[in-house]
Amino acid sequence: MISLAINLDTRPGYDQAESTQGLMLNGTRHLDFFNYGIANKVRFFDGYDIETTVYVDLHGKISERVANLLIELKNEGTIDNLVLARHNENYGGAYFPKWNDLNFLNAMMLSRGKYICHIDGDAAMFINDKSVISEWLEWLDSGTYDYISYPTVYSPGPAVDPHYKSYWWASTRWLICRRDRIDYSEIMKCLQDSDYLFGKYGHSDEPRNPWLEHILGMMTGSQERVFYPLVQPNRYFIFSWARYISGTYKKLMDGTFNDVKQYIMKAGGIKYPCDLAAIK
């Protein structure tokens, strides 16, 4: 079974017609993500045995519209596990700057499948060739890679940054791995104590980034263990919304894979590192 762990949130502005990606912890948000966005991710894995966990970081009281959308998906079986977590930036009685990483980790830990695919709420996924998924699972089972992350034209590296010589990370925007790769206790030690993290797993010549996606990469012990595939536009697309406009998901999901491909081209293509700005 493949467990989909999807993190969503209701930061102010999610109910507006348009949302634009900002800096760290300020990705796009939209009401469409609570129905079409979830359905989009589930459809990608159609034909596979999947379990879907939706973890919602609630900023304020849940709106009736969001509640109704989620309950409908839960009742029809699209969502298996639904968590409505009141927004909290504390852990252990004190402010915890990695609270969003903790949300991601908690969503993954609810998963029961052999594989976990973590998907941030503003990520979109469209597939034409389902053999892509079987390739991923074969690579994970054979031990070729510990993590597979979103495809990029900059592969095999996760980003183009001269500061990074050997540093590898598994992006929490989108990754897939075997569930036995997620060691909750060890990851929490690393999240809580950067000296422990870098003392055990770090590289002296690299920037000290103590976030979950970097921790996952460092815990593999080798930059060869995390793989970012090349973009294969005839097989599938995975990207994050740099800008999202109301109704875009429905428009793309009602069309063919070729329609999606043409839309991406008209929108200017997927930009560094894996972002697409929606167009009307």
Say which CATH number the domain at 224 has: 3.90.550
Q: How many domains does the chain have?
A: 1
pLDDT in tens, 171-189: 999 999 999 999 999 999 9
60-84 per-position pLDDT tens digit? 999 999 999 999 999 999 999 999 9
Higher pLDDT, 161 or 137: 137
Which pLDDT belongs to residue 250? 98
Q: How confident is the model at residue 167 (pLDDT cuts 50, 70, 90)?
A: low
Q: How many residues does the chain have?
A: 280
Question: What phi and psi values does residue 72 have, to the nearest 5 degrees?
Answer: -60, -45
Tell me the average pLDDT across 26-34.
Answer: 94
Q: What is the average pLDDT across 194-222? A: 88
Q: Which residue has the tokens 């595939």?
A: 229
Which range of residues forms the domain containing residue 124?
2-277
Average pLDDT (14-29) is: 85
pTM for the full predicted model: 0.96
State whether the Cα torsion 35-71-106-57 is positive or negative.
Answer: positive
